Structure 1
Amino acid sequence: MSGTLTELNAYPLKSGGGTALPRAELTARGLPFDREFMLVTPEGRFLSQRDLAQMALLRPSYDGVVLTVDAPWSSPLVHKAVDEGEVLEVTVQRKECQGVDQGDEAAAWFSELLDTDCRLVRFTGHRPTSRGGGEVMFADGYPLLVISAESLADLNTRLDEPLPMNRFRPSLVIEGLGPYAEDDVRLLRVGAAVIEMIKPCARCLITTTDQETAERGREPLRTLAAYRTRDRAIQFGYNAVPRLLGTLTVGDDVEVLEPR
């Protein structure tokens, strides 16, 4: 069974907007710079669109040196990433990790913008995936999220108004394997790389947040709950870890190496 890679998306700032990539080198931690930065409360707890829906409107870009964040109601933040600084103990989904504090100027910009006292941190150290023996930066638990285009197409036939793929914030979108094919694959070759599908993705409130307006509704969770509830979670898409690193390019062939 084969298909095509149709989207590559990285998210330099956790819960900010995605960056569409035509080509990327897959690393052990996923796509380059993915969730390398994160906002935290003064106590070190991560902030996301679950807390602040307006984070959907942030448009970050990062070249490995400078993080630029655009927002519709402010002048942009242009921040040179700090390598050496105070290392903060922070938590992601109640799991401890570390981040380098990015300084008072960035903290003030985000705090004023979001009307919430917060700090910007940059990932440092090592953080294992929840399962599967992989590595991850500030993503919830896994470096990659894979969704079939046909899965969204099937969901949209059940909705009054179709939703775009960005509601689900995938890393890789594949086409040609059929609806929910990601559920039935263990090993997938994408271009020169191989990834292992580890765990279904349990969906949360973020999927109900319009990524262009930050408005919240009841869909798609209401509809997904009726036919995609498994193990007491609403599932859509699959978390994955890299097994063989390589270059990924939109348009690459996708091949099922091992079904589940």
Structure 2
Amino acid sequence: MSTIYIVKEIYIYPIKSLAGISCQQANAEEMGFENDRRWMLIDAENQLITQREHRILSQFYPQISDGKINITFKDQTHEFSIAENLNNPIHVDVWDDKSEVVEVNESTSKWFSEQLGFECKLVKIIKSGDRKHESSQLKETFNVSLADGYPYLMIGSQSLDFLNEKLADKITILRFRPNIVIGTQTAHEEDDFTTFKIGEVQFKNVKPCGRCIMVNNDPENGKLKKEPLKTLSTYRVVNNSVLFGTNIVGLNSGVIRVGDEVVF
């Protein structure tokens, strides 16, 4: 009898490096889930801002309702429309890729600047093709969002369970910021998936995801810890990269839901 893999959790992260949103279903698009990492913060020099340098970003919590995104940080809130932008093209680097973005509005940039204590702007990627990412593994170029590299990150449940067996202080899947969590039988078997279908969407596996110091940032309090990278580095290092989860791309648009089966 073949193994049945079921989608257990779905997440989107509207603004790069801020907290995510748990979803029961999501619209899959070429660039990733709808509203997933379409926005990010940049500094006065138009450099991207992430949790790697600013762990406090994990304490900004977005919610989406009625075409608006509401951000809560401590006792402060701010809201802006998903559709709004100033139509002023800004050219930025997202790691090794060039991207064109636009500022959302001046009041939103001012609010984030006040909360973070330095000048910044909230910007948005508008359309498919405004950022392209070349896969050295597949020798293909993909239209992507403002995610680090690929549109989707998938993690199997047993990968986390196997890690937690080795940790004194257990962690949640939120450390790894997945888009799709599936129930698995064996740790890291998702690394070996090739092409598969979830709901209406065909996916292709690109490569396991190399992890950075950001996974040591506890999203509950924004404090940097030694784990899980310390333990992962004892058994998940390949070519000097610590691997956890796998990067995938969608081959068509459609809806996927919690409870959907992974079909090969």
How many Å separate the matches in 2 of 1:68 and 1:195? 31
Name the CA shift for 1:64/1:139 in 2 (closer, same or farther; >3 Å): farther
Structure 1 residues 140 and 16: CA distance shift in structure 2, 3 A: same
Alpha-carbon distance in structure 2 between the residues aligned to 1:96 and 1:222: 32
Q: Which amino acid aligns with 1:9?
A: Y
Q: Tell me if the contact between 1:134 and 1:242 (Cα under 8 Å) persists in the aligned partners.
A: no
Q: 1:97 aligns with which of 80, 96, 99?
A: 99
Correspondence list, 1:72-221, <5 A: 72=74, 74-81=75-82, 82-125=84-127, 126=129, 127-131=131-135, 132-221=140-229
Cα gap change, 1:144 to 1:181, in 2 (>3 Å): same
- The secondary structure found in structure 1 opposite 2:222 is coil
Identity, in percent, stands at 29
The runs of 5 or more residues in structure 2 that have no matched partner are none
Aligned partners of 2:252, 2:106: CA distance in 1, in Å? Answer: 39
Q: In angstroms, what is the RMSD of aligned CA positions?
A: 1.5
Aligned to 1:154, what secondary structure does the other structure show? helix
What TM-score do you get using the length of structure 1 for normalisation? 0.93
Query: Number of residues paired by the alignment?
Result: 255
State the 1:25 CA deviation: 1.8
Measured after TM superposition, the shift of residue 237 of structure 1 is 0.5
1:130/1:142 contact within 8 Å kept: no
State the distance in 1 between where 2:113 and 2:85 align: 22
1:254 Cα offset (Å): 1.2
8 Å Cα contact 1:69-1:78 kept in structure 2: yes
**Amino acid of the structure 1 residue aligned with 2:30:** A
Letter in 1 for 2:229: L
Aligned partners of 1:249 and 1:100: how far apart in 2?
31
Hey, what's the Cα distance between the residues in 2 that align with 1:172 and 1:31?
10
TM-superposed deviation, 1:62: 3.2
